């Protein structure tokens, strides 16, 4: 699976330059949210991993985004939901292309179906090989943006 850094770097690199820093933070949080609400608990409580696995599905993530948005004032909720949703969508998009090690991938339509669809272009550990390239792209992106900003 793409790791948290890969998800974060992808969102950071693909963002619109008009995105403010506080909006960028919400995009990045959204990009790592599916793993934040599942992985720690799956490690701490291995027997309950299938219970927590359900939180890495679109339906559960929509509910989690709604809950998080209620931590903000009403005038910001729609924007918070939009930014978190975009981040989560980028996360799920990357996960769609991974090959699952076990027989069970992601149940995209859980709780309505256990249908498991994945494209399987890369193995979970492949993000370690792609990460240096993403970091170089991020460095070039930042350098070019800073030079344009000075002119």
Q: What is the pLDDT of residues 70-100, one digit of tens each?
A: 999 999 999 999 999 999 999 988 888 777 6
Q: Given pLDDT bands bounded at 50, 70 and 90, which one contains residue 54?
A: confident
Q: Structural domain tally of the chain?
A: 1
Q: What is the spatial distance between Cα 147 and Cα 106, in angstroms, rounded to a whole number?
A: 42
For the record, the structure tokens of 15 come out as 């963002």
For 61, counting Cβ atoms within 10 Å of its Cβ (0-12 exposed, 13-18 middle, 19+ buried), the class is buried
Residue 118 near residue 61, CB atoms below 8 Å: no
pLDDT value of position 1? 46
Write out the residue range of the structural domain in which residue 39 sits: 4-150
Q: Where are the alpha helices (DSSP H) in the chain?
A: 4-14, 21-36, 39-44, 49-53, 58-69, 74-96, 127-150
């Amino acid at each position: 699976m793409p790791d948290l850094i890969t998800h974060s770097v992808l969102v950071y690199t693909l963002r619109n330059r008009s995105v403010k820093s506080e909006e960028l933070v919400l995009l990045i949080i959204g990009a790592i949210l599916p793993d934040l609400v599942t992985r720690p608990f799956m490690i701490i409580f291995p027997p309950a991993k299938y219970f927590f696995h359900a939180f890495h599905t679109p339906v559960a993530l929509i509910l989690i985004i709604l809950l998080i948005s209620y931590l903000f004032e009403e005038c910001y909720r729609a924007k918070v939901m939009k930014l978190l949703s975009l981040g989560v969508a980028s996360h799920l998009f990357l996960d769609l292309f991974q090959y699952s090690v076990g027989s069970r991938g992601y149940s995209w339509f859980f709780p309505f179906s256990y249908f498991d669809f994945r494209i399987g272009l890369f193995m979970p550990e492949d993000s370690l090989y792609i990460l240096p390239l993403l970091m170089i792209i991020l460095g070039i992106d930042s350098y070019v943006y800073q030079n344009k900003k000075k002119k």
